[in-house]
Amino acid sequence: MIAQGKTNVAARYGMSIDVDRCNGCGACMVACAAENNVPPAANGATERTGLTWIRVYRVDNGGEGNERRSAFVPMLCQHCGKDAPCVAVCPQQAVDVDPATGIVGQMPERCLGCRYCMAACPYHARSFNWSDPAWPAGMEKTLNPDVAPRMRGVVEKCNLCQGRLHTAKAKAAMAGRVEIDPADYVPACVEACPTRAIHFGNLNDAASEVAQESHRKGSFRMLEALHTDPKIYYQSKKDWVRETASAPRPGKENARG
Amino acid sequence: MVRLTGKLADGQFITRGVSRCSTERFLLWLAPWVALLVFGVYCAGLCLVKGLNQTNMDNRFVFGLWIFVDLTIIALGAGAFFTGFLLYILKFKELSAVINSAVIIGLVCYSGAMAALMVDVGQPLRCWFTFWYPNVHSMLTEVTFCISCYLAVLAIEYLPVVLKNRRLKEIPSFLVFEFELHKLIYVLAGVGTFLSFFHQGSLGGLFGVLRGRPFAFREGLMVWPSTFFLFILSAAAVGPSFLILTTWLVEKITHKRLVKDQVFQLLARISGILLCVYVLAKAVDTLVWLNRTSPGLGFEAAQYYDWKPFGTWILFAEIVLFGLLPALILITPGLRARRGWLIPATALACCGVALNRFVQTVQTQALPTLSFDRFLSYSPSWQEVGTFAGVLAYGVLVYSFSFRYSQVFPEERELKAARVMRLEIPEEELVEAGR
């Protein structure tokens, strides 16, 4: 039994990531892979052919010696607004923005594997299954039964742990509630972050931590000039970190990252 | 004895009044292309069976050799629809001399591109999903619909070429069928022109609509970015050039004159005029993009040319070297009349359209959009190259068979007779007769 979630105000799930707190440990990447049945890299896979729904980039300020400063920026699907660049391009409607949650979904069952959505995404947040998914012997017993593994030849990406949303909805329905308890729906990466750098919640709920953080000074979104209206906010007190959100600049800055 | 029978059997299929090489020589010509086709099928098989991990594409370079080659060969194959449009709709009767060749080239280019596309998607068995769950906002949906329909039109247009075969013509029902089909040719040409115009545009829109890729994104008219119109224009301009180039190549290989010089001149003039319009439109589009579109999205255009090897030279090569230069040669009667100028100019124009498709697809993917990201490079794997070598071999084989067993160039017989006459009658007598 699933709660229908028919509320008057649609939710707008999003995140706020404090870049100053992120230490680049990669726990979010591991937790995400375990939760969403993302298989280990196939034999011969490279950094660019492996599968990951969240990637932690190391960036620096371009300084030399003592002037050099580094930060870690976790990049995942930015869950753009209703005009998300990937939605309009999919030839068979395998990508959509859920009007009830704002989550940009990808249907692997309908995906042709044309990868047009990957080309359209400025954040490079998607992965393609270049090989058959395979887990080391015995490891398949650890797979999450709430999430279907994807087959070879389809695209996948972060869906803000849709499996957990379904579980939260079922729990709410069992309790006779229409709306889910925010505490029941927390994506795996948020849960796993040891420094509490990632906050998650409904951006439409003004009382939520994530909504308040999104309006705080030092909050920014990636490539905002593209008008993609992402729901992933970043935070930093450092100017040079906030500058990373803008497009590459001509000259030596291009070497950064 | 067996050899003699084989020769006779083969000879009976060759059009009367034209000469073709011996069966042995023809088989010798076919052998390497058949070998290449087999290799291509093997490479494609590897990609289909083992998956796209056989290619060098990755999560960042999601489109590889195939998008560049597909877009290029479809642009070059545009000679088919544009020649049909000029001949049947605008009544340029001289072009009937090359229409069969244009249709074969079109068929080969489009079917080859479709075959390669099937290899390069992750789930080829789901190709029907696009027709079942079409997203009308996607340029790829437009491309899929138009290319599929136009391929069907080209297949129908190709039928009369096959049915012109000497032996097939002896079957009355085929003759009637061809006659009836010919009545439809104006409708087919019209439908083909519409579909082809539209999908050339959609291919241009494929990258032009990518708001998230400011290097490729262009403003436009209604839902169509400017690249939609530029692709139509460039394909229409280069199609006739490619037709000249291929006809010249066939003439060189077969040591025959196949088309009158006036036809070459007409095609060159049309190509040159359209190329001039294209270069002008492309220059204006580039200026608008450099000064308004890209900065409006937060990207200073100068940064695109900061990443080597894609410096500003590529812009110069695309617009001036492979655009303006061949355009000027092709519109100048004195220059295009000489083969030494005409053929290099058409080759330059074809290279220009290839470079434009390369820039739109490969360069777009190589450039980073995030400030902390890197410039990316890609080189195709041998399996990718092999698949396209197979497509090339398929094209050569279809053209070779069509040329040998059908009347691809209707003027060939007439030109051959004129040549024989010139050889038999001394030139002085011809001049005398002319007076």
DSSP B2-26: HHHHHHHHHHTTSPTT-----HHHH
Q: Which residues of B touch A222 (CB under 8 A)?
A: 370
> Cβ of B377 under 8 Å from any chain A Cβ?
no
Taking the Cβ of residue B148 and every Cβ of chain A, the question of whether any pair is shorter than 8 Å is answered with no
With a cut of 80, say whether residue B426 has pLDDT above it.
Answer: no
Chain B hits for A230, CB-CB cut-off 8 Å, are none
A108, closest residue in chain B (CA to CA) = B123
What pTM does this model have? 0.90
Q: What does the pLDDT look like over B15-64, one tens digit per residue?
A: 888 888 899 999 999 999 999 999 999 999 999 999 999 999 999 999 99
The answer to whether the beta carbons of residues A92 and B135 sit under 8 Å apart is: yes
Nearest-CB residue to A254 (from B57, B213, B303): B303
- Give how far Cα A123 sits from Cα of A28, A75, A228, B362, Å: 18, 8, 11, 18
The class (CATH top level) of A13-245 is: alpha beta
Q: What is the pLDDT of residue B171?
A: 85
In chain A, residues with a C-beta closer than 8 Å to the C-beta of B59 are 48-50, 118, 124, 126-128
Mean pLDDT of A224-252: 88
- B6 pLDDT band, cuts 50/70/90, is low
| Tokens at A221, concatenated | 């979104």
Query: What structural domains and CATH numbers belong to chain B?
Result: 21-433 (1.20.1630.10)
Q: What is the H or E stretch that residue A71 is in?
A: strand A70-76
Q: Encode pLDDT of B87-116 as tens digits.
A: 888 889 999 999 999 999 999 998 999 999
* Share above pLDDT 90 across residues of chain B, in percent, rounded to a whole number: 61
To the nearest 10°, report the CA torsion of B404, B407, B408, B410.
140
Minimal CA separation from B352 to chain A, in Å: 24
Q: Does residue A252 surpass a pLDDT of 70? A: no
Would the pLDDT of A59 be above 80?
yes
pLDDT attached to residue B407: 87
Query: Which residues neighbour A54 within 8 Å (Cβ) at sequence distance 6 or greater?
Result: A28, A29, A32, A74, A75, A76, A158, A189
Question: Are the C-beta atoms of residues B188 and B81 closer than 8 Å to each other?
Answer: no
The answer, for B52 touching chain A at a CB cutoff of 8 Å, is yes
| B367-422 pLDDT per residue, tens | 989 988 888 889 999 999 999 999 999 999 999 999 999 989 988 888 877 777 66
> Residue B70 pairs with which residues in a beta bridge?
none
First vs last C-alpha separation in chain B: 53
What's the pLDDT at A6?
47
CA distance from start to end of chain A: 47
Backbone angles phi, psi at A74, to 5 degrees: -75, 125
Q: How far is CA B373 from CA B135, B378, B400, in A?
A: 31, 16, 48
Closest CB to B53: pick one of A42, A113, A254. Answer: A42
Using DSSP, state whether B369 is helix, strand or coil: coil
- Nearest by CB to B59, from A112, A128, A227: name it: A128
Helices (H), chain A: 27-35, 85-89, 116-120, 162-174, 188-192, 209-215, 239-243
| Residue B223 sits at the chain A interface (C-beta within 8 Å) | no
Q: Please, which pLDDT band fits residue B7 given cuts at 50, 70 and 90?
A: low
Two tokens, residue B215: 């290097």
